[in-house]
Structure 1
Amino acid sequence: MTLRKRRRTAMMILLAGVVLALLGTDTGWIWLTVPGMTLLLGGLALDAAWVRCPRCGRWLGWNTGARCPACGTEISWD
């Protein structure tokens, strides 16, 4: 799986968690809030585990540039 697909998958999970958590908070349905927060944290954890520099292994953060901010290695997103 490419870095772009990994980032996109993690962000989709994170977004689903935000929607569920906000919907549960707004409507008062706690049974939606808890899974929403779980998905939100899971999306963040997946992004931190999956989106790493292939050379130094450091998390790329929210950087979508062509180079790793830590070691300067060129990043191939595709």
Structure 2
Amino acid sequence: MTLRQKQGLILLLTVVGLVLALWHPNVVVMAAGIMLLLAASLLYLVWMRCPECGAWFGKYPGDYCKDCGAKIPWDEKTKRNL
């Protein structure tokens, strides 16, 4: 999964969580929306990190890491280390 795909999934979870939490009258569905928002926040903190140094990208990630200066591979699939 590329970083751009991960970013899209986080955005989708955030939007669905907001819709469920704010506009649905059922308390159980609202709680599910809040859980989706929490999951999206956790995934953002875990996934949005520099592959070279591990630094968090922050609010406005660019093309290069702010800490180490490495180019961020937004569209490259990450290699799994087993």
Is the pair's TM-score, using the shorter chain for normalization, greater than 0.5?
Answer: yes
Partner residue, 2:39 = 42
Q: Which has the higher helix share?
A: 1
CA RMSD of aligned residues (A): 1.2
Superposed CA deviations along residues 28-70 of structure 1, whole A, max 9, x for unmatched, are x212210000000101111111111011111112223111112
Moved over 4 A (4+): none
Structure 1 stretches lacking a partner, 5+ long: none
Instruction: Name the amino acid aligned to 1:33.
Output: M
1:52 aligns with 2:46: no
Question: Equivalents in 1 of 2:47, 2:65: separation in Å?
Answer: 14
TM-score, normalization: structure 2? 0.82
Superposition pairs of residues 7-46 of structure 1, within 5 angstroms? 7-24=7-24, 27=25, 29-46=26-43
5+ long unaligned stretches in structure 2: 76-82
Identical amino acids, percent of aligned pairs:
39
How many residue pairs were aligned?
Answer: 75
